[in-house]
Structure 1
Amino acid sequence: MSDTPSDCTAPDCTEPRTAFTEAEVEALVRGICFKTGPPRTVGVEVEWLVHELRMPQLPVTTERLDAAYAALRAVPLRSALTVEPGGQLELSSPPAASLMECINTVSADLDAVRSVLAGHDLGLVGLGHDPWHPPRRFLRERRYDAMEACLDRTGPAGRRMMCTSASVQVCLDAGYEEPGPLGHGRRWWLAHQLGAVLVAAFANSPLAGGEPTGWRSTRQLLWMEIGPGRAGAPALDGDPRTAWARHVLDAPVMCVRRDSGPWDVPEGLTFREWTRSGVPSKEDLDYHITTLFPPVRPRGHLELRMIDAQPGDDGWIVPLAVATALFDDPEAAETAYRIVKPLAERSLGLPAPHNPLWLDAARSGLADAELHEAAVACFAAALEALPRLGATTQVTDAVAAHLDRYVSQGRCPADDLLDRLRGTDVPRSRLGSTGGTPMPHGKDLRT
């Protein structure tokens, strides 16, 4: 699922709409947010920045992006390919019956995408935030006009999120209705505590305008700056369905869609207040939910949205494999729960990502001693579980390489970028096969 809400077609906007009550809204949201049962499927949504192959510091013109994306639309893919407002590309896998099926599907689709882009002298780069370019809108549509106007009220973070960020989003089944390591309540709680460890271990966005921002994950900083109403999680001290339904009702309305002309962008209007007016419909509710960007979004399944885009052609496989192992293998899930439970005290009862734990993860990465210790233990548990999930040696080797190169040393991919900027990076010959974070064509990111 994209970070940006989907548009409606003319028929959707003009069909008769039936308004419904506040109680009906809450009941509907409760009924669709967690589809429980045995965890069977996995998916991933991989976003990429698109750059010039020869000189990535130069912006790609709209005309070249248009031509490349027109060519991509003719390529048969199993994954859904979409374009983000700033021109980022996203591949969203279909639900897969296993981790390896998901990896193989997306890998094949990425090979095809890269081949087409190379014919246009363009490539993909895995970075959580564009280190070179300011926000620039590529898509000009009413939904993005409204989104930009709404997010501008909280500052520049919204435009940067829309146009200069990229992520790896892992999609996992909600879990069993009953309690236990794979129960939906436990998985919901775990996602918000383990999420901070994933932020720190995979932070890969320390730069903006070629300079350090002071954060290992600038992308996560942007989400925090957008504000809790739009990008925050509900409280974790109650039933997940009830908490999410109330969060949806109390969240601000981003826009009111219209058949023609600009969409209205109300200020300070919650969906609960709008519902009490008797105006919004089921279609309006569906759209409203797509305008909420919490770190974990319940969409029947759980969408983990806190991981920065990763370096290298296959870097996205590591967070996908680690998260899947820690959630879907019962033994690893129980281990991960015990590992991260002490971290919950640092949240001070505040929802993610607007609490001290998530702030420290985004700012310091694994330089934070407690997050470092938790990440080492979680990666070890994931490595033990992956063979039980059918992962190949290539996948377990990739996870082990990330553990050795980064996690064990209290580092994350962002540290490679900072070292390269400062001229303190370790030569690749000393790193062995794990390498470092590849930065295309040029050591000096300020050029």
Structure 2
Amino acid sequence: MDHRLSEAEAADLTGERSFTAGPPHRVGVELEWLVRDAADPGRPIAGPRSDRAIGPLEAAGTLPGGGKVTREPGGQVELSSRPAEGLAACIGGVETDLALVRSALARRGLAADGDALDAGREPLLVVDRPRYRAMAAYFDGNRSGMRIMCSTASIQINLDAGEETGRFGYRRRWALAHRLGPVLTAAFANSPLLDGRPTGWKSTRQASWARLDPGRTRAVDGDDDPRRAWARYALDARLLCLRREPPADWSAPHGLTFRRWLRGRCTEREPTVDDLIYHLSTLFPPVRPRGWLELRMVDAQEGDDWIVPLAVATMLFDDPDATAAAWEATEPLTRGRDRPSWTLWLRAARIGLADPALREAARACFAAASAALQRGDAPDRARDAVAEYGRRYIEPGRCPADDRLAADPSPPVTADLEVRS
């Protein structure tokens, strides 16, 4: 039963729930896809059409491969895998379920698009739920907010937090996730266009997150104790929404942080454990702890290239030799700190692998991941996909955004996307 929370209890509960210690062995992935009209890609997709295409899969619950399908506010399709025992099982399950998703869309004349940002269509709230209406109200007047909600797609990689101590402890894996974050941002940047024009960023999606609401979207500040750092971040973040009984609106009081709510600054009602747990689901830093670690910095990729960031990240975290190599490769990025500065995250989003330090780190990390894939029982398609991506992008210091920019020589338009470090 819910009870009144003290500030200390809320901090302790946040840390405990967000880092579940244990031997790392599971892997999962969440794939977001923009949805296009197969015959007219620029045509907006209305809610009823999206309902008819994806609604039956949502209602079915768990799919044959173990995953689940949901929809994001703008009608983006999200396929969430089950927590799998290893890379091969994860890929196999996702491929089974993704085939169903693509088939369901095709029957309605729709297609899953691998763009990370809808560069042409205006943001449109397609899925009408109290949470999404409250989010839209929270970001009222902020174009980046509606863009993030309705017009972006990403690949989220989920890995166990790690053991309580040691080389595979959650503290070390938390630090490694932040070291690798800018590298993965740069290597897979795939959203350089907006309104049909270059923005000056290789990952406009990540730039949009960065400028949106720093207290809930930027990386968590460094701390020797990740549980303590995450609790501080979470309690100091503003409420995105406040759940109420239908048909009441979920909009939160302006400027109310969870810490202020705990201190009695909202007279509507007192916060509960359930409120805290829900609040944690509304925080979106590039590395988010939810018992496991969510890596949220990777842009969506075309076709089956989603396999590449999944395979690379899994090897760099779970293969001992690859982990050691990744730690060494990212050491120059930290400048004597445990993790890179936020400035480096922004540089990764802006220029990708044109940054020499990020390029060298990416090459070393891909080499380590490729070697680990060769040693293990990874499927051939994962080995081949990583090797091909490395040849196509990592070795020449490119990313998918460069392909899109090569096809569009227009000068950049950056006024809407300047981000302070």
TM over 0.5: yes
Match of 2:394 in 1: 407
* Structure 2 CA distance for aligned equivalents of residues 274 and 50 of structure 1: 38
Deviations 1:274-332, CA, capped at 9 Å, x for gaps: 112281001110111011001111011100000000012x1100000000000010111
Quote how far apart the aligned CAs of 1:54 are.
2.1
- Contact kept, 8 Å, 1:203 with 1:362, in 2: the verdict is yes
* Structure 2 CA distance for aligned equivalents of residues 74 and 271 of structure 1: 33
Query: Cα 1:134–1:348, aligned 2, differ >3 Å: closer, same or farther?
Result: farther
Deviations 1:25-80, CA, capped at 9 Å, x for gaps: 11111211111121110000000001111221222233321221234346644211
- Contact kept, 8 Å, 2:178 with 2:339, in 1: the verdict is no
Mean CA deviation greater in 285-294 or 225-234? 225-234
**Aligned positions of 1:404-443 closer than 5 A:** 404-422=391-409
Match of 1:200 in 2: 186
- Contact kept, 8 Å, 1:17 with 1:281, in 2: the verdict is yes
Match of 1:34 among 19, 43, 61: 19
| Unpaired stretches in structure 1, ≥5 consecutive residues | 1-15, 424-447
Query: Cα 1:17–1:74, aligned 2, differ >3 Å: closer, same or farther?
Result: closer
* Structure 2 CA distance for aligned equivalents of residues 230 and 198 of structure 1: 20
Quote how far apart the aligned CAs of 1:348 are.
11
1:213 to 2:203 alignment: no
- Contact kept, 8 Å, 2:238 with 2:255, in 1: the verdict is yes
**Aligned positions of 1:315-334 closer than 5 A:** 315-334=305-324
1:335 to 2:325 alignment: yes
* Structure 2 CA distance for aligned equivalents of residues 122 and 347 of structure 1: 47
Q: Alignment RMSD, CA only? A: 1.8
- Contact kept, 8 Å, 2:359 with 2:394, in 1: the verdict is yes
- Contact kept, 8 Å, 1:197 with 1:374, in 2: the verdict is yes
Deviations 1:130-164, CA, capped at 9 Å, x for gaps: 122111000122211111111236x2111100000
- Contact kept, 8 Å, 1:166 with 1:309, in 2: the verdict is yes
* Structure 2 CA distance for aligned equivalents of residues 73 and 146 of structure 1: 22
- Contact kept, 8 Å, 1:254 with 1:266, in 2: the verdict is no
- Contact kept, 8 Å, 1:346 with 1:356, in 2: the verdict is no
For residue 87 of structure 1, give the secondary structure of its aligned residue in structure 2.
coil
* Structure 2 CA distance for aligned equivalents of residues 394 and 19 of structure 1: 52
The percentage of counterpart residues that share the same residue type is 51
The residue identity in structure 2 corresponding to 1:163 is C
Match of 1:23 in 2: 8
Query: Cα 1:378–1:348, aligned 2, differ >3 Å: closer, same or farther?
Result: closer
* Structure 1 CA distance for aligned equivalents of residues 352 and 123 of structure 2: 25
| Unpaired stretches in structure 2, ≥5 consecutive residues | 411-421
Match of 1:251 among 217, 227, 237: 237
Match of 1:363 among 343, 350, 353: 350
Match of 1:241 in 2: 227
The two structures have a TM-score, normalised by structure 2, of: 0.92
**Aligned positions of 1:152-163 closer than 5 A:** 152=140, 155-163=142-150
Mean CA deviation greater in 382-391 or 369-378? 382-391
For residue 378 of structure 1, give the secondary structure of its aligned residue in structure 2.
helix
Match of 2:335 in 1: 345
Match of 1:126 among 92, 114, 132: 114
Match of 1:300 in 2: 291
* Structure 1 CA distance for aligned equivalents of residues 156 and 331 of structure 2: 23
* Structure 1 CA distance for aligned equivalents of residues 149 and 72 of structure 2: 7
Quote how far apart the aligned CAs of 1:347 are.
8.3
Query: Cα 1:253–1:61, aligned 2, differ >3 Å: closer, same or farther?
Result: closer
Query: Cα 1:87–1:342, aligned 2, differ >3 Å: closer, same or farther?
Result: same
**Aligned positions of 1:75-154 closer than 5 A:** 76-77=63-64, 78-152=66-140
* Structure 2 CA distance for aligned equivalents of residues 172 and 263 of structure 1: 32
The residue identity in structure 2 corresponding to 1:220 is Q
For residue 152 of structure 1, give the secondary structure of its aligned residue in structure 2.
coil
Match of 2:54 in 1: 69
Match of 2:376 among 361, 369, 389: 389
Quote how far apart the aligned CAs of 1:346 are.
9.5
- Contact kept, 8 Å, 2:138 with 2:251, in 1: the verdict is no
The residue identity in structure 1 corresponding to 2:309 is P
Quote how far apart the aligned CAs of 1:237 are.
2.9
* Structure 2 CA distance for aligned equivalents of residues 360 and 347 of structure 1: 18
Mean CA deviation greater in 80-89 or 21-30? 21-30
* Structure 2 CA distance for aligned equivalents of residues 257 and 169 of structure 1: 26
For residue 215 of structure 1, give the secondary structure of its aligned residue in structure 2.
coil
* Structure 2 CA distance for aligned equivalents of residues 223 and 103 of structure 1: 28
